[in-house]
């Protein structure tokens, strides 16, 4: 079956522009996570959605970052007024739920470069 | 707040020899994961360790978990070139949020 997909695979933008990154989770997975992988900070959690519950935004680095999940499926991560330090690979993962036995499956990532 | 530390950060291996990567974590973690990442690729799940004393093996890789010591190890037996990659361990906080170690870059030389 299809895995987690993300688009675009690469995004180059100019400092100050807004970008949107998309994640399509595995069908039937109620939990969706965003992580960021950068040279300076390693792999870090950003935000997660579980069903209809309010998202856990505790990992978002600033108020320029936001995410939404429409219809319990596709999610969009938006970065406003991008800065060079936002350059990273943004990874999306999904899982059946959030219990101890629910493994997260990762998408291929979106490489964001801010010039 | 959960913190996860791996060592070493870089491991140069000789083919045929055995090596161990260590993963220490700071507070209780529901479970411990090991992932592999090839250059330019995403994360591939290797092992999920759920309880104290858990040991899992797949091919030349074996992972174990000691929750009392807050330590997990990834043991590589008779290293081969195909195992060259970066390996990450991760613990989980509430909601299954993953907290990753810094990664161990493994290079297996002939």
Q: Is the pLDDT of residue A99 over 90?
A: no
pLDDT at A102 over 70: yes
Query: Given an 8 Å threshold on Cβ–Cβ distance, is B95 in contact with A100?
Result: no
Q: What is the pLDDT of residues B68-87, one digit of tens each?
A: 999 999 999 999 999 999 99
Q: Does residue A1 surpass a pLDDT of 60?
A: no
Domain for residue A9, yes or no? yes
Q: Let me know if residue A109 belongs to a domain.
A: no
Answer whether residue A86 shows pLDDT above 80: yes
Q: Which two tokens stand for residue B20?
A: 């161990």
Lowest mean pLDDT: which of B14-18, B84-88, B94-98? B94-98
State which CATH number among 1.10.3720.10, 2.60.40.10, 3.40.50.300, 3.30.830.10 fits the domain covering B4-109: 2.60.40.10
pLDDT at A24: 96
C-beta contacts of B19-22 below 8 A and 24+ residues apart? B19/B75, B19/B76, B19/B79, B19/B106, B20/B73, B20/B74, B20/B75, B20/B76, B21/B73, B21/B74, B21/B75, B21/B76, B21/B87, B21/B89, B21/B104, B21/B106, B22/B71, B22/B72, B22/B73
In a domain? residue A46: yes
* CATH number of domain containing A77: 2.60.40.10
Select from B1, B41, B43 the residue whose CB has the most chain A CBs within 10 Å, as the one to mutate to test that interface: B43
**Is the pLDDT confidence value at B95 over 80?**
no
CA distance A6 to A115: 22
Residue A39: pLDDT band by 50, 70, 90 thresholds?
Answer: confident
Select from B41, B48, B99 the Cβ nearest to the Cβ of A103. B48
Query: Span A58-83, mean pLDDT?
Result: 94
B105 at the A interface (CB within 8 A)?
Answer: no
CA B62 to chain centre: 9
What pLDDT is attached to residue B74? 98
d(Cα A93, Cα A4) in Å, to the nearest integer? 7
**Residue range(s) defining the domain that contains residue A32:** 5-95
What average pLDDT does range B5-13 have in this prediction? Answer: 96
What integer is the mean pLDDT of A6-12?
97
Percent of chain A beyond pLDDT 70? 97
> Between residues 32 and 71 of chain A, which touch chain B (CB distance below 8 Å)?
33, 35, 42-45, 48, 50, 56, 58-59
Asked if residue A114 belongs to a domain, the reply is: no
Mean pLDDT of chain A: 93
- Residue that has been written with the tokens 């807004």 in this structure: A18
Res A100: pLDDT: 62
Closest Cα in chain A to B5:
A42
Q: Which residues in B lie closer than 8 A to residue A103 (C-beta atoms)?
A: 33, 45, 48
> For residue range B23-74, what is the model confidence (pLDDT) as tens digits?
999 887 778 999 999 998 989 999 999 888 889 999 999 999 998 999 999 9
Q: Quote the number of domains for chain A.
A: 1
């Amino acid at each position: 079956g299809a895995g987690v997909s993300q688009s675009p695979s690469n995004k180059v933008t100019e400092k100050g522009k807004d970008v949107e990154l998309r994640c399509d989770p595995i069908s039937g997975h109620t939990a969706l996570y965003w992580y960021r992988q950068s040279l300076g900070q390693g792999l870090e959690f950003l935000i997660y959605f579980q069903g209809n519950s309010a998202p856990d935004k505790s990992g978002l680095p600033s108020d320029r970052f936001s995410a939404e999940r429409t219809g319990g499926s596709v999610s969009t991560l938006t970065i406003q007024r991008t800065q060079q330090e936002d350059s990273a690979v943004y990874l999306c993962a999904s899982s059946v739920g959030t219990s101890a036995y629910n493994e997260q499956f990762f998408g291929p990532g979106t490489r964001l470069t801010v010039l | 707040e959960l913190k996860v530390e791996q060592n070493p950060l870089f491991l140069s291996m000789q083919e045929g020899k055995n090596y161990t990567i260590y993963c220490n974590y700071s507070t209780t973690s529901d479970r411990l994961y090991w992932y592999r990442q090839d250059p330019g690729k995403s994360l591939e799940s290797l092992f999920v360790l759920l309880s104290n004393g858990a040991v899992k093996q797949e091919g030349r890789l074996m992972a174990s978990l000691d929750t009392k010591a807050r330590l997990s190890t990834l043991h590589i037996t008779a290293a081969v070139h195909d195992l060259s990659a970066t390996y990450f361990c991760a613990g989980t906080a509430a909601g299954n949020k993953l907290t990753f170690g810094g990664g161990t870059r493994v290079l297996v030389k002939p």
